[in-house]
């Protein structure tokens, strides 16, 4: 797992500091967000934000889609998704 954790941390760092050609769509950003939250915090909890809170509602919904995914699976999917986009 430590190797996966290292790869995950490197992928997170890459995305947070990406410049130049790496311009993911908002949909892809939400997928990364959801996988990151699932890997680091587990299943989504709390109430779904109101309809007028567009950004937080989209984040909540994206995270809810990966509910039930283990932390390790979410980390692997995050790393794999980044590698596919590079």
Q: Which domains does the chain possess?
A: 2-85 (1.20.80.10)
Cβ–Cβ < 8 Å for 81, 32: yes
Select from 28, 55, 33 the least CA-distant residue to 44: 33
Binning pLDDT at 50, 70 and 90, where does residue 24 land? confident
- Model confidence, pTM: 0.90
Find the mean pLDDT for residues 47-75.
96
Q: Is the pLDDT of residue 16 over 90?
A: no
Q: Decide: residue 61, CB within 10 A, 0-12 exposed, 13-18 middle, 19+ buried.
A: middle
pLDDT of residue 11: 95
Q: Is the pLDDT of residue 19 over 90?
A: no
Q: Is the pLDDT of residue 54 over 80?
A: yes
């Amino acid at each position: 797992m430590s190797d996966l954790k290292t790869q995950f941390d490197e992928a997170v760092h890459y995305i947070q500091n990406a410049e130049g050609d790496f311009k993911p769509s908002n949909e892809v950003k939400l997928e990364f967000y959801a996988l990151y939250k699932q890997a680091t915090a587990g299943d989504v909890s709390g109430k779904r934000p109101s309809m007028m809170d567009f950004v937080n509602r989209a984040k909540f919904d994206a995270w809810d889609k990966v509910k039930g995914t283990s932390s390790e699976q979410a980390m692997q999917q995050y790393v794999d998704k980044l590698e596919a986009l590079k």
